[in-house]
Amino acid sequence: MTSDVLIIGGGVISMAIAIELKLRGAKVTVVSRDIQAAATHAAAGMLAPGAERISDQAMQELCTRSLYLYPDWTRKLEEFTSINTGYWSCGILAPVYQDQTRGQGEKAAKQEKSDRGRETSLPDSSSPAYWLEKEAIHQYQPGLGEEVLGGWWYPEDAQVDNRALAQALLAAAKSLGVELKEGIVVEGIQQQQRQVVGVQTSTGVLHAQHYVLAAGAWSNSLFPLPVRPVKGQMLSVKVPEFVPDLPLTRVLYGEKIYIVPRRDRRIIIGATVEDVGLTPHNTPVGIQTLLQRAIRLFPQIQNYPIQELWWGFRPATPDELPILGTSPCENLTIATGHYRNGILLAPITARLLADLILEQKTDPLLCDFHYSRFHTKSSTTPMLSYPTLKTQNSELTTENYDKSQLRNSELSTLEDSPLQIAGKTFQSRLMTGTGKYRSIEDMQQSVTASGCQIVTVAVRRVQTNAPGHEGLAEALDWTKIWMLPNTAGCQTAEEAIRVARLGREMAKLLGQEDNNFVKLEVIPDPKYLLPDPIGTLQAAEQLVKEGFAVLPYINADPMLARHLEEAGCATVMPLASPIGSGQGLKTTANIQIIIENAKVPVVVDAGIGAPSEAAQAMEMGADALLINSAIALAQNSPAMAHAMNLATVAGRLAYLAGRMPLKSYAIASSPLTGTITS
């Protein structure tokens, strides 16, 4: 039978919604690749609307309302499942350090106290807070670091054992008869005329009357929402049995660190905040940073044995607020982007969305979290704004277009999200290079004219001051352009790995400290310059392990693209035809297969020679283009760069608009009914 509601995702949000809908009589199915891999299991379980210092008033109200639901919500879960969720109204203590670097510790504390005082004067939805002076805070919580000179006490904040909560939700869902389809990969959401008609999965198409997207950090792979993964590393220590009493009975929320004690003598320490896409695993530097901060805050923790290390991916939005409510599809509801507050917001999210789905009741608070805040008219207009270019024959400028007509036309209904690669957001879908130009000035003008935000740079050529690359580092404004170091000239995987490391250091020298991007090229063939698939995969696997966001240049091989994606690459970059040949799209069929199956951005790279070919690649559904030779070798490079920009935009808009179907017969443009007859 077809379900009433199908929920995509297996975390605390999706399970809470499923249970709430089931309790109200709906037939519910939950589809998840791996329920144990959800961000729920990687959290610390803090319920901290006060200690988090949430400045957005709507978010503060949402979090506080959810906090007040928690005691009754967890009590009912525990009664139903006999699983203790670990809900503990322990309060949260937020210590403040002495500001030794500026020699004004007491002044800093007073300013902190003043700032917090203004915060706690917010409307009733905000959590109360009480300032504790140095003597009071050390007496209230013995064992704090000597640098702590005071702090804030949030008595209403609490915690829950997130893993126990996940077990309770899973048990409750099973007992209530929620259909759980685990181990199934959701590959796409099928849509027709603003309706979801099915969910394509690894085991076939699933149908329901209504659908909920609650896939957390993976939501963007299924629907154009600005949700990106933000990695967090965590660890736990265990208080030894010979310590008679728990040394810590309340959560400590310090400077970029939190310490969460559990009644079973575990202490949770978290968490890093890393924009590294879906790069997995714990790292020495991440764990070292957490331990240093935790020991500074609560020194005796250094003597406790480490019990476990883990990591997870928070679903973050640009404004760090969740996306809740209706979607562009009439029968699809969105519940994602909860970022640091997924555990806290589970009960209120479930209640509000169940009201919305089953009773068509829209709480006014949902308006502040609607997806449309990211899809205003301005989200499409940047694609229509370009710099003015002086050419020999005319002035190229979009001022010649009637922009008011564009803004007021059906174009405004075309919703598109920016290009996202490894957690970074880019408005332009055209990338360019820096090689083969007649002069540095020509390159500078062309990069500007292209409107691009990503420019690829050959690391070896910069390192050796190859012709055309002298002074390249100073030629572009790297505060506005994201450098994409490439491993051009590398013939083996080993060479490419070494050069990639140099490229990362080069980006740091130019001020891009967090730039871990690399365009991976392994090309042993000097005549046709075709990439080595085996060497590329080997190098990619190693670079992903080292934390790189790898953008591999490959033949248009769908199987290789899949293997690279599975290895953790940030994109795949199939060639349209041999690099620098200008032959255009010679691998269309294979590129189309790659586009249809990839869950990462597909960037068509190499071989495009004319704007018409660029537009065609975008019309196929490519996420972006990388074009160098066609621009650099044109008679007027800046003008060609501008043309490629326009073509990229036109192709993207055409793809979003949806072309007319191909037919084997003619259809009159004018209707045949109502015509004058003799």
The owner of tokens 């990229």 is: 648
CB atoms within 10 A of CB 31: 25
**Is 466 annotated for ligand binding?**
no
For residue 558, give the nearest of 530, 597, 606 by alpha carbon: 597
Q: Are the C-beta atoms of residues 13 and 162 closer than 8 Å to each other?
A: no
Residue among 389, 451, 94 nearest 259 (CA): 94
Q: Is 580 annotated as a binding residue?
A: yes
- The sign one gets for the Cα dihedral 125, 56, 260, 160 is positive
Distance CA 119, CA 476 (A): 43
Backbone angles phi, psi at 30, to 5 degrees: -115, 130
519 as an active site residue: the answer is: yes
Asked if residues 504 and 534 have their Cβ atoms less than 8 Å apart, the reply is no
Which helix H or strand E contains 344, and what residues bound it?
helix 342-359
- Provide Rg for the chain, Cα atoms: 28
Beta strands in 99-227 (DSSP E): 130-133, 148-154, 158-159, 179-182, 186-192, 195-201, 204-206, 208-213
Active-site choice (134, 519, 586, 663): 519
Query: How many whole angstroms separate alpha carbon 220 and alpha carbon 319?
Result: 16
Helix (H/G/I), strand (E/B), else coil: 596: helix
**Nearest partner of 49 among 344, 444, 353, 427, judged by Cα:** 344
607 annotated ligand binder: yes
Specify whether the CB–CB gap between 429 and 625 falls below 8 A: yes
**Contact present, 213 and 327 (Cβ < 8 Å):** yes
d(CA 467, CA 241): 68
Would the annotation count 606 as a binding residue? yes
Backbone φ and ψ for 403, nearest 5 degrees, come out as -65, -30
- Is position 58 annotated in a ligand binding site? no
How many CA atoms, within 13 angstroms, populate the side-chain half-sphere of residue 460? 14
CB–CB of 430/648 below 8 Å? Answer: yes
Is residue 520 within 8 Å of 552, Cβ to Cβ? yes
84-107 b/e with 16+ CB inside 10 Å = b?
ebbbbebbbbbbbbbbeeeeebee
Single out the residue of 132, 133, 49, 88 nearest to residue 250, CA to CA. Answer: 88
CA–CA separation, 637 vs 586, rounded Å?
24
At 273, is the secondary structure helix, strand, or coil?
coil
User: Which residues are CB-neighbours of 48 under 8 A, at least 6 positions away?
Assistant: 92, 154, 157, 251, 253, 344
* CB-neighbour burial class of residue 669 (10 A; exposed 0-12, middle 13-18, buried 19+): exposed
CB atoms within 10 A of CB 456: 25
Q: Is 378 helix (H, G, I), strand (E, B) or coil?
A: helix
Class of residue 345 by CB neighbours under 10 A (exposed 0-12, middle 13-18, buried 19+): buried
Preceding amide of 271 cis, omega within 30: yes
Q: Which amino acid is present at 259? A: I
The C-alpha atoms of residue 466 and residue 629 are separated, in whole angstroms, by 17
Q: How far apart are CA 360 and CA 352, in angstroms?
A: 10
The amino acid present at 327, given as its one-letter code, is S
Using DSSP, state whether 450 is helix, strand or coil: helix
Residue numbers belonging to the annotated binding site: 580, 606-607, 628-629
Residue numbers belonging to the annotated binding site for 1-deoxy-D-xylulose 5-phosphate: 580, 606-607, 628-629
| Catalytic center residues | 519
